[in-house]
Structure 1
Amino acid sequence: MIAGIGIDIVDLARFNRAVSRTPRLSERLFVAAERERPLPSLAARFAAKEALIKALGGSEGVHWHDVEVVADAEGDPGFRTHGALTDLLAARGITRLHLSMTHDAGVACAFVVAERDAP
């Protein structure tokens, strides 16, 4: 059963300016493994985190490092959750998160579906 959906889009040039202007921004938004990625991939990961927040209807008490965008064995994107986010998902009965990301033509986009088991 779908519990929420979220989508976000990031302008790559604007994201690049923000990261360049504020060097510690990447450290605040991404865990170390994520920061190794090229800028378009970072922008897509930021969009993924924003889309997740939208799918959940908010993020009170959750920090950027509580969610990490990872790839599974087949290379498909997904989330690894930590701390307050793991607790929030459990409290809301969210059992699965689905993620799709892309970047092209100067933008990065992500779409998230949050699911819970049917009652």
Structure 2
Amino acid sequence: MEIVGLGTDLIEVDRIKAFAEKPGALARIFSDEEIAYCLARKNRYQHLAVRFAAKEAVYKALPFDGVAFKSISVVNLENGRPAVHVNDRRFDGLTVLISLSHTEHYATASAVVYRD
């Protein structure tokens, strides 16, 4: 295993809340599935913020530039753990490990990208 990148991000939940209240803003960054998942949660802005932080962390960890945020998707596995899918051919052969955490006011994410 070869680690090719490490990224982390921290964001204030209120910044995402203000962003989310603008018409069409969420659809520019999040997939339909991510939006549906977050909006169905009690603490929707925390969930949106932690997914935004995850996208930032993954973007910072990738060994190449020009990946659209919308092509980075954060999903939950059956066991509840978060996972990342990157819809970009340059990502073939790479794997992302991700860790997410949030409080009432902050959300953070860390990502490690490796190649087998």
1:74 pairs with 2:86:
no
What's the TM-score once normalised by structure 1's chain length? 0.83
CA pair 9-97 structure 1, distance change in 2 beyond 3 A: same
Task: Read off the aligned partner of 1:10 and give its amino acid letter.
Answer: I
Deviation, 1:2, is: 1.1
1:43 pairs with 2:49:
yes
Counterpart of 1:102 in structure 2 is 101
What's the TM-score once normalised by structure 2's chain length? 0.85
Number of matched pairs = 109
Query: 1:52-91, aligned counterparts within 5 Å?
Result: 52-60=58-66, 62-82=67-87, 85=88, 87-90=89-92
5+ long unaligned stretches in structure 1:
none
Two-structure CA RMSD over aligned residues (Å): 1.4
5+ long unaligned stretches in structure 2:
39-43
Counterpart of 1:23 in structure 2 is 23
Deviation, 1:74, is: 1.1
Indicate the SS of the match to 1:74. Answer: coil
Which runs of 4 or more aligned residues in structure 1 lie more than 6 Å from their structure 2 counterparts after TM superposition? none
Give deviations 1:19-55, integer Å, cap 9, x for gaps.
Answer: 22x2211010111111121111011001000100100
Task: Read off the aligned partner of 2:23 and give its amino acid letter.
Answer: P
Task: Read off the aligned partner of 2:19 and give its amino acid letter.
Answer: A
